[in-house]
Structure 1
Amino acid sequence: MLDPKDHLAATLKLTRQTQGLSLDKTAEKTGVSKAMLGQIERGESSPTVATLWKIATGLGVSLSTFIEPVPETKTQTIVRTADTIRQHPGDDGLMIAPLFPFEQAFGFEFLELTFLPGYERISEAHEPGVMEIVSLITGQLDILSDGQWHNLKQGQSIRFAGDRTHGYRNPTDAKAVVHTLIHYPHRP
């Protein structure tokens, strides 16, 4: 399996080139500096999940596109274990396991996210029509949607529009683990 940093570098460069974009144009579309994009493409930088989201949204691709290749088999049963694929990109208090990366045929990605104690992030709006469903497996987590923080307890789920500003906050001193499904309705 390709090293996560190498996969990210190769995928960003290929996505950018496939769309006919220079680093300058990519920086304009994503809000991420040309210098940072160049460092990522050269494998010199491990961006945070927030930065990856900005790049993914600006380029119109899923977050998991940059984390792991789509599994090769599409017609057979696939079993994946979060412990073997969990990553800590950018070391920003969030670990991510792309249980099922985005596939065009399904229109969604299914992730396990682990929010370390004290983690907080306000996420910019994703592309129009994106929906997120978050189910809390362990711990406690606050989700910001429609301008209001919702406190999730273990076993609770929330669905919200990912195409608006939203956020995640772990106000406790224990990790919070969620399963999240992100649906991208406008992908060809």
Structure 2
Amino acid sequence: MDIAAHLSAKLKALRQARGWSLTLAAEKTGVSKAMLGQIERNESSPTVATLWKIATGLNVPFSVFLQSGEPPERPVFDPQNSDMVVVPLFPYDEQLRFDLFSIMLAPGALSESSPHDSGVIEHVTVISGALDMQVQGKWQTLRAGEGLRFAGDEAHGYRNSGPERAHFHSLIHYP
């Protein structure tokens, strides 16, 4: 699956299904009209943080952008020059209302996440390496086997200050 082409088509389809102009989509997502247009024209790949903003503004689960409907392929979101690789383990489940992702964060990488929709709860479990998490403005380090549950509807961040890739799972629960 060509992830950039998939993101382009999915964004355009979701926006048009709502009857939103690019201007309105920019207002709702906090992503500039120019950037949204570039993504829709497949001229630019969004970062994970930008894609989260778009998903939140459109009120859809993040994994909607990663699902191709072509099993058994497991899409990977790894935009150019990205230090963060996201693989959906369990795409959004309508009945249970969650996504589960496997995420790799390169040494020195930082990903800041804007608040998700109200009531979203995130569960992070470190599989290998160490992961610094910023929740409520404070950083804390999680090591392999440790986890953290927090309100995803507040700004938060992920940082790898260690020498090896940090591998973690993120379960996002939607109210």
Question: Fold-level match, TM-score > 0.5?
Answer: yes
**Long gaps (5+) in structure 1:** 73-79
Q: Is the 8 A contact 2:3 2:76 kept in 1?
A: no
**Separation of aligned partners in 1, 2:59 and 2:94:** 13
SS at match of 2:111: strand
**Structure 1 residue 165 and structure 2 residue 155: aligned?**
yes
Q: Which amino acid aligns with 1:30?
A: T
Q: Which amino acid aligns with 2:95?
A: A
**Structure 1 residue 55 and structure 2 residue 54: aligned?**
yes
**Structure 1 residue 16 and structure 2 residue 15: aligned?**
yes
Q: Evaluate the alpha carbon distance shift between residue 35 and residue 105 of structure 1 in structure 2; reply closer, same or farther with a 3 A threshold.
A: same
Q: Evaluate the alpha carbon distance shift between residue 146 and residue 71 of structure 1 in structure 2; reply closer, same or farther with a 3 A threshold.
A: farther
Q: Which amino acid aligns with 1:11?
A: K
**Structure 1 residue 129 and structure 2 residue 128: aligned?**
no
Q: Evaluate the alpha carbon distance shift between residue 85 and residue 11 of structure 1 in structure 2; reply closer, same or farther with a 3 A threshold.
A: closer
Aligned length: 175
Aligned Cα root-mean-square deviation (Å): 1.7
Q: Evaluate the alpha carbon distance shift between residue 25 and residue 90 of structure 1 in structure 2; reply closer, same or farther with a 3 A threshold.
A: farther
The aligned runs of 1:132-147 (5 Å cut-off) are 132-147=122-137
Q: Is the 8 A contact 2:102 2:170 kept in 1?
A: yes
TM normalised by structure 1 equals 0.87
> 1:110, CA displacement in angstroms?
0.6
**Long gaps (5+) in structure 2:** none
> 1:90, CA displacement in angstroms?
4.2
TM normalised by structure 2 equals 0.93
Q: Which amino acid aligns with 2:154?
A: R
**Separation of aligned partners in 2, 1:168 and 1:107:** 23
Q: Evaluate the alpha carbon distance shift between residue 160 and residue 141 of structure 1 in structure 2; reply closer, same or farther with a 3 A threshold.
A: same
SS at match of 1:174: coil
Q: Is the 8 A contact 1:87 1:95 kept in 2?
A: yes
- How far does the alpha carbon of each residue in 1:121-143 deviate from its partner, in whole angstroms, 9 at most, with x for none? 22111110001001100000011
Alignment match of 2:104 (pick from 114, 117, 132)? 114
Q: Which amino acid aligns with 2:49?
A: A
